[in-house]
Chains A and B, each alone.
Chain A
């Protein structure tokens, strides 16, 4: 049979090639279907002289490809029919494979339009009662004849009485005065109506109060209101809305801050007015905000230089012998270095280990300081996994064993907890971590694994109190019980407790911390973004920031704050005693005050205590700071820098000498700035109508 086909091809191939003047004609051209329709495509080849012929083999496919095809448009292989699954304009490619094409490609793309079936009804959700002066939330959906719900259509919304209920050009509905009006929502020619009864606002008076009238930038103020109705009766079942405006003490800066629910925080020092509204009733009060004033000096004590290659993760620990040590990974040749950091002003390399890998991305040390685990990527035999080291004597490190089962594709990050190694198989599908028992470190045994959904990603893992926090790029944070007991999980049976996704889709690291000052439980999620890609041999641009998510209620996480350093991106970080020690790549080490309640933009709020650029003139890329991560250890801030190795910093008690820099005015300067004789007069000068 194979010979026959080959001979046929040979015979056909000597025919004159007309394919350049040939086209594919098909009944797919201009085809319009509705969702759920099927259609048998019929296509033929039209020659340059107008004659036609059938094609030996014609293949149809959706130009979006197999990974996107599921819900849109497909060809049923059993019938050959096109099946329209999703609305839109789909590109269906017809490829004619025919010996008469003489090796030339003959294909045609047809646009097939698939429409929703028409709207059959409209669902609207809106309260049937509203108070005068209030906006009325309204949502709507159209329901098609085959039951699909759509919220992508723009409706025409009208009020039967615009003196009672108005509808603005954005479709926002506002109750104006007492009476009744009917709202009509029209989608695709189909209408739905809802009668709204507008009542007079029950609130006659409103009195705002704040938890403090004098705070620093970044301090969160709680707002509350007392609302009174007829005969002075207090109203407790309704909530006002809050807003603010303000004037900065610095004439060249704008007052800025944030109101979220009943919380207010200011970014810059100034005088702020916070307002409570209900209907047409408003109440205001003033809050004076001064600079946070927490800057401190920071100095470099010493470095452990690695200039001939990139340095990756580092870990610092007290050794079995009571001295202090560090271990750092590298890129390019599978090496990890061990350092004596007992005297941070004299960091000394005491040993190194080389494994069959290109990248040792992550290094971790067990709590008893006897075991170190280093990761492998780029092994020559493509068996990566991780290596377990005996570091009882960090000056004489020994390989105990290697573990590769299920991890051959490469391990990017690991964590050691309670005699188990949690190792990420970042490139598998499903993405997963393997749990390996190392009670006998010479004979590690796989005991469990945690797999995410197909197509998900996983990048990093951190474990505290039997809870694993995995960072999963676009899939956000997973909180997994691996022995805490919260959800019955164990190392051999990890159980997911919560998942939190966010918009940047770049979740690279996670660090849990319980605020000492407030008792709230946060998980800080760090992005990693290289907008221009990575060049290992040149300086790189980075972006991304730290997301502070309040997980006090595990089932209801709320992202409340961010630390975003303009021009620089986040990487690995450490939190201790309400202070973040962040490796901000080309932004260096940043020390950030996260005491108190957190809300809004922490950088703008002046919460940064100190900053240090860790690059070296002799670095792998000279003078290019690229702080990988940092760790607070025994009163020092240790770090690793991608281009320079490791180092130690010390935060001093002294404040930076800014005598030669421009100073912002503070409350002492009120008079000179605004001409006021006292604070009361100053408030009056600044008084202005509240923001509605």
Chain B
């Protein structure tokens, strides 16, 4: 009996963990700090963000500094430019801020350069090339902007910290930026030139592929290419020289061989894959299937779908994965007056295990830390 009690205490001491994530609510100008422990997620604090008094500023992207001391938030709407705001994880208070471009969105800090790379999504008006802002987060200075494609999204850094990847949603390209040289290194067209008609139409109501005579017809009247793939996210593999792209318009995941710099595989998903993340152990690929309000989990060894979990409400958005690869935290936007939701999904049995309401249109989500209880 004594042995059992000791085992129980020790196992609890060893295995009980608490996990912390930040999630931004785009239509509420709030960020929620959430704590997940004992299979239950709770809101620790709701932080009001934004400085422009009369508008919803739209907190969109969120990331935590590799040192864990700060979190960074992109405010999409400005007058007209958006902002990057730096917060202390200790106090959740503003430390500093800087102006970025139009609709700054997703971002990440390179462990090698220490710089933060944030895409300026610019969803306003006609399509034209936008930029990636490079920020020194110590001085909170936007030190340069690098022009990429139309509606860049999904800024993620290679494991060695030397390259930044983003996709251009409207022009359908993958961009690799030299994180040291601060310039575009390579560009890859993600369109599937072998693709035949499968009834697919873009969200803009464009003609399906068989209605087009050539790829040139994918250019709209404004002369800009409107991608059929409509990539919304890219995530480099933590251990292999591969990257995975969410084809939001083509309902597929695209695997890119970073050595050969070409598409090495494509596999179908549900309707509207949006964000992708890979578990830190490199085994699982997790994707939000935005249009269906689901989260999908694939085994990266064989690309087999391990589970497809219905999220608590509609419009599944972002993904954060615990550093021990056990849990995925999914932000779900909701529609209209519905609150945002964060769902916790077990990456061991692929089941929804807890949910919490946060502010409206929950989007950007970032894993902060894992503590022993």
Q: Kindly state whether residue B373 has any CB partner on chain A within 8 Å.
A: no
- A587 in the interface (beta carbon within 8 A): no
Q: How far is the CB of B361 from chain A (nearest CB, A)?
A: 7
Closest chain A residue, CB of each to CB of B258:
A2
In which size bucket is the chain B interface?
A: 35 or more
Answer whether residue A533 sits at the interface, using C-beta atoms and an 8 A cutoff: yes
Given contacts A95-B114, A105-B114, are A530 and B54 in contact (CB under 8 A)? yes
Which of chain B's residues have a CB closer than 8 A to the CB of A18? none
**Of the candidates B56, B139, B141, B144, which one forms a contact with A378 in the assembled complex, judged by CB atoms under 8 Å apart?**
B56
Q: How far is the CB of A235 from chain B (nearest CB, A)?
A: 53
- A409, B77: Cβ atoms under 8 Å? yes
The residues in A between 455 and 507 inclusive whose CB is less than 8 angstroms from any CB of B are: 455-457, 473
In the complex, whether B199 has a CB less than 8 A from a CB of chain A is no
Cα(A426)–Cα(B76), bound, Å: 13
Partner of B160, one of A9, A357, A426, A533: A9
CB within 8 Å: A-B pair count:
139
Interface centre among B99, B144, B334 (most CB of A within 10 A): B144
The verdict on A429 contacting B102 (CB below 8 Å), with A57-B180, A97-B114, A406-B126 known, is yes
Q: List the A side residues contacting B102 at CB < 8 Å.
A: 427-429
A526 CA to B56 CA, complexed, in Å? 21
Which of the segments A64-72, A125-133, A205-213 contacts the partner chain?
Answer: A64-72
Known: A66-B142, A429-B80. 4 other contacts (CB 8 A): A61-B144, A93-B136, A406-B125, A408-B123
- A356 close to B (CB within 8 Å): yes
**Using a CB-CB cutoff of 8 Å, which residues 202-244 of chain A contact chain B?**
none
What residue of chain A has the Cβ atom nearest to residue B98's Cβ? A65
Distance in angstroms from A171 CB to nearest chain B CB is 38
A358 adjacent to chain B (CB < 8 Å) = yes
A358 touches B48 (CB 8 A): no
Q: Fill in one digit per residue for A347-388: 1 if any B CB lies within 8 Å of its CB, else 0.
A: 000000010111100000000000000000110111000000
Contact indicator per residue, chain B 100-136, by CB within 8 Å of chain A (1) or not (0): 0011000000011110000000111110000000001
Which 4 pairs across A and B sit closest by C-beta, in order of nearness? Answer: A333-B337, A428-B124, A530-B53, A61-B143
A-chain residues with CB within 8 Å of residue B53 when the two chains form the complex = 529-530, 533-534
Residues in A neighbouring B111, C-beta threshold 8 A: 103
User: A14 near B: Cβ within 8 Å?
Assistant: no
Taking CB atoms, residues of chain B closer than 8 Å to A2 are: 160, 162-163, 241, 258-259
* Interface contact B103-A358, CB-CB below 8 Å: no
Contact of B334 among A377, A380, A530 (CB under 8 A): A380
- B349 contacts partner chain A, Cβ-Cβ < 8 Å: no
Using Cβ atoms and an 8 Å threshold, which residues of chain B touch A191?
A: none
Within 8 A of A (CB), among B155-210: 160, 162-163, 180, 182, 203
Contacts of B114 in A (CB 8 A): 95, 97, 105
- How distant is B135 from chain A, measured CB to nearest CB, in Å? 9
B346 to chain A, nearest CB (A): 27
B81 in the interface, Cβ–Cβ < 8 Å? yes
B78 within 8 A of A: yes
Q: List 10 A-B contacts (CB under 8 A).
A: A2-B162, A9-B162, A61-B136, A333-B337, A356-B336, A358-B360, A380-B361, A409-B125, A429-B80, A429-B124
B24 to chain A, nearest CB (A): 14
Does B138 interact with chain A (Cβ within 8 Å)?
yes
Indicate whether A528 reaches chain B with its CB closer than 8 angstroms: yes
- Whether the Cβ atoms of A429 and B81 lie closer than 8 Å is yes
Chain A residue contacts of B143, Cβ below 8 A:
59, 61, 65-66, 93
Most chain A CB within a 10 A radius of its CB, from B55, B78, B79, B182 = B79
Query: Pick the contact of B141 from A63, A103, A408, A409 — CB < 8 Å?
Result: A63
Question: A436 on the interface (CB 8 Å rule)?
Answer: no
Complex CA distance for A456 and B144, rounded to whole angstroms? 21
A-side contacts of B355, CB under 8 Å: none
**What CA separation (Å) do A425 and B141 show in the bound complex?**
28
- Could you tell me if A410 and B77 are in contact, using CB atoms closer than 8 angstroms? yes
From known contacts A358-B361, A530-B53, infer whether A105 and B138 are also in contact, taking CB-CB under 8 Å: yes
* A65→B96 CA distance, assembly (Å): 14
Contact A473–B333 (Cβ < 8 Å) = no
* A431 to B102 alpha-carbon distance, docked (Å): 11
Q: Are B336 and A66 in contact (CB under 8 A)?
A: no
Q: Chain A 397-431 against B: per-residue CB contact (8 Å), 1 yes, 0 no?
A: 00000000010111010000000000001111111
Contacts of B81 in A (CB 8 A): 67, 429, 455
Closest residue on chain B to residue A380 by CB atoms: B335
A647 contacts the other chain (CB 8 A): no
Which residues from chain B contact A334 at a C-beta distance below 8 Å? 336-337
B32 at the interface (CB under 8 A from A): no
Give bound CA distance, A57 to B180, whole Å.
Answer: 7
Report if A5 contacts B (CB, 8 A).
Answer: yes
The residue on A at minimum CB distance from B80 is A429
B99–A67 CB distance below 8 A: yes
Instruction: Give Cα A90 to B144, complex, Å.
Output: 17
Contact A408 B80 (CB under 8 A): no
Residues of B within 8 A of A358 (CB): 27, 56, 336-337, 360-361
Q: How far is the CB of B14 from chain A (nearest CB, A)?
A: 29
Please name the residue on chain B nearest to A428 by beta carbon.
B124
Q: Say yes or no: is A285 at the interface (Cβ < 8 Å to chain B).
A: no
* Interchain CA distance A173-B159 in the complex, whole Å: 70
- The B interface is mostly helix, strand or loop, or mixed, namely loop
Report which B residues bind A (CB closer than 8 A): 26-27, 48, 51, 53-56, 77-81, 98-99, 102-103, 111-114, 122-126, 136, 138-139, 141-145, 160, 162-163, 180, 182, 203, 241, 258-259, 314-315, 333-337, 360-361
**Contact present for A409 and B124 (CB under 8 Å):** yes
Which residues of chain B come closer than 8 Å to A381, judged between CB atoms? 203
**Quick check: is A6 within 8 A (CB to CB) of the other chain?**
yes
Q: How far is the CA of A245 from the CA of B81 in the complex (A)?
A: 49
**A553 sits at the interface (CB 8 A):** no
Contact A427 B334 (CB under 8 A): no
Given the complex, which residues of A lie within 8 Å of B126, measured CB to CB? Answer: 406
Residues of A within 8 A of B80 (CB): 426-431, 455-457
Given contacts A5-B162, A533-B51, contact A66 B361 (CB under 8 A): no
List chain B residues, Cβ under 8 A from A359: 56
Cβ-closest chain A residue relative to B111: A103
- Alpha-carbon distance A54/B136, docked complex (angstroms): 21
| CB contact between A354 and one of B56, B113, B336 (< 8 Å): that residue | B336
Q: Residue among A63, A97, A359 with the most chain B CB within 10 A?
A: A97
Nearest-Cβ distance from residue A381 to partner chain B, whole angstroms: 8
Which B residues are in CB contact (< 8 Å) with A57?
A: 180
Report if A332-B337 is in contact (Cβ < 8 Å); known contacts: A61-B143, A67-B81, A378-B360. yes
B141 touches A64 (CB 8 A): yes
Q: Are A408 and B99 in contact (CB under 8 A)?
A: no
**How far is B235's CA from A154's CA once the two chains are assembled, in angstroms?**
59
**A197 at interface by CB-CB < 8 Å:** no
B51 nearest CB neighbor, chain A only = A533
Contact flags A95-111 to B (C-beta < 8 A → 1, else 0): 10101000101010100
Residues in A whose Cβ lies below 8 Å from that of B54: 508, 528, 530, 534
Contacts of A62 in B (CB 8 A): 141
- A432 at the B interface (CB under 8 A): yes
The CA-CA distance from A380 to B340 in the complex, in Å, is 11
Cα-based distance from A426 to B126 in the complex (angstroms)? 15
In the complex, chain A residues whose CB is within 8 Å of the CB of B138: 105, 107
Q: How far is the CB of A284 from chain B (nearest CB, A)?
A: 48
**Chain B residues closer than 8 Å to A427, beta-carbon distance:** 77-80, 102-103, 124
* Cβ B333 vs Cβ A380 within 8 A: yes
Contact, CB under 8 Å: B336 / A65: no
In the complex, what residues of A have CB within 8 A of residue B77's CB? 409-410, 427
Q: In the assembled complex, which residues on chain A have CB atoms less than 8 Å from the CB atom of B334?
A: 380
From A434, which residue of chain B is reached at the shortest CB distance?
B125
B337 pairs with A457, CB closer than 8 A? no
> For the complex, what is the distance from the CA of A280 to the CA of B142, rounded to whole Å?
60
Is residue A535 within 8 Å, beta carbon to beta carbon, of the partner chain?
A: yes
Give which listed residue, B98, B124, B182, contacts A59 with CB less than 8 A.
Answer: B182
Which A residues are CB-close (under 8 A) to B139?
63, 93, 109
Interface centre among A64, A95, A99 (most CB of B within 10 A): A95
